[in-house]
Amino acid sequence: MTDDIYQNYTSESKEESDDRQSLYEDYRENVATSQTTGINQEPQSTGANSLSFSRSRRYRLAAVGLGLLCVTAITVLDQLQTSNTNLTAERDQLQKERDQLTKVVCLYCVYSEKGWKYFRSSLYYITTEKKSWTESRQDCQKRKADLVIINSGEEQVRRLITWIGLNDSKTEGVWKWVDGSALTTGFWWTGEPNDYEGNEDCGVTGYKGATSGPSTWADFPCHHPVFGICERISK
């Protein structure tokens, strides 16, 4: 009986030993397989990767925002610079106009006491002595002026015959002003100029036959004594 028990025990112990041996071999095989395939390696931390990606994205967004801010700042600065340039130009123009106006006012104050009249940026003076066209012009030049160049009907004198800076002495029928420019618009009285007796080469305004309207010009003999109108440009 005892022998049977030990015999059974020995038999069972051998079976258990075989089982343990088999399990151990399986374990070693699994370990070897894990080392070969990398299953036993430590997995990477997905949380750390996510945090790193989030920070990188924030940095990129910050860089883009900073770039846009710089572009906006440059644009605003350019606009301010342009505006400042325009304001400076306007200021300089206003300063120039003010200086010009001050000069004109001062000039008018001085010349008005001497009998000059101001009209449209020019000063006008009617001589006090009747002289020939050439002498009247010399009189004007002594006053730093010249016989008037008429550009509009308002510049003319009515009811008083006066020399103007117009003549055709060099070429009959080709009227020129004292500055050498050709006559483009004339205010001749009816039938004028007629070069009466071939001796009328200088122009006058205020011809006695012209009673109304701007057409008051006539040609006179240049040696005929009449008053003259001097014009000084107030620049």
φ and ψ of 122, to 5 deg: -135, 155
Residue found under tokens 């308002």:
154
The residues, any chain, with a CB within 8 Å of residue 158's CB and separated by 6 or more, are: 206, 210, 216
b vs e for 130-163, b when ≥16 Cβ sit within 10 Å of the residue's Cβ?
ebbbebbbebbeeeebbbbbbeeeebbbeeebbb
* pLDDT above 50 for 53: yes
Question: Which tops the pLDDT comparison, 31 or 97?
Answer: 97
**Quick one: tokens of 207?**
């011809």
Binning pLDDT at 50, 70 and 90, where does residue 66 land? confident
Listed range (174-178, 214-218, 228-232) with the worst mean pLDDT? 214-218
At 41 the pLDDT is 47
Listed range (60-64, 122-126, 230-234) with the worst mean pLDDT? 60-64
Question: Which tops the pLDDT comparison, 209 or 12?
Answer: 209
pLDDT digits (tens, 9 = 90+) for 33-44: 555 544 444 444
**Quick one: tokens of 204?**
């006058």
How many C-beta atoms surround the C-beta of residue 178 within 10 A? 17
Binning pLDDT at 50, 70 and 90, where does residue 153 land? confident
pLDDT (average), residues 218-228: 96
φ and ψ of 203, to 5 deg: -95, 145
The two beta strands, 227-233 and 162-167, are parallel
* pLDDT above 60 for 76: yes
The pTM of the full predicted model, rounded to 2 decimals, is 0.56
Listed range (28-37, 40-49, 176-185) with the worst mean pLDDT? 40-49
At 1 the pLDDT is 46
